Amino acid sequence: MSSRTPGVPYPRLPLPEDGREDLATFQRWLAEAIPMVASLGIEAMREEGERLIWNLALAPNLNDKGTGFGGALAAQTTLQGWCWVTLWLRRQGQARDVVVAEATQRFLAPVTGDYRLVCTPSEPDGPQRLAERLVMHGKGRITLTQTLYCGDTRCLEATGHYAVLE
């Protein structure tokens, strides 16, 4: 049972003092701030350059056929993009509101075991363009791609458009 109150924003996680994010702390905060996160099976998250990578357990995300439930997978891709933008902003020393403006998923193969999600900017200059828009306009957008792999099999591709608000 969540102690969250509808309509009341959850306190932001303080920015890291040295600019280096502790992803375990971020993941704990995320599960408190967004109660359903605790049920999504996120086992680990790491950053490699511009990539945010999650390892996830299939068991909490099963459908009636014994494979990955599309709704859970869609929620995970949307959340991962939100996290990518939030973590990127935090590295810039900014605590800002991020929202998903649009998200799409394309299911390519059933998810039959534990899996990983990889989130990257859809365009190589996306982060730079976002940074420029934030300076010029105080807000901006970025498009991200999430790809789900079960072993070496690409099972899902998603695209999300995320907005950073003023």
d(CA 137, CA 70): 36
pLDDT tens-digit map of 75-126:
999 999 999 999 999 999 999 999 999 999 999 999 999 999 999 999 999 9
Helix, strand, or coil (residue 94): coil
**Vertex 111, ends 80 and 118: CA angle to 5°?**
30
99 to 2, 59, 91, 149: CA distances (angstroms): 22, 28, 18, 25
Instruction: Give the residue from 140, 41, 51, 151 showing the smallest Cα distance to 94.
Output: 140
pLDDT at 1 over 60: no
Strand partners, 98: 164
Residue 49 phi, psi (nearest 5): 60, -125
Q: What is the pLDDT of residue 3?
A: 72
Q: Tell me which of 2 and 19 has the higher pLDDT.
A: 19
Q: What is the pLDDT of residue 22?
A: 94
The mean per-residue pLDDT over the stretch 9-24 comes to: 91
Q: For the chain, which domains are there?
A: 46-164 (3.10.129.10)
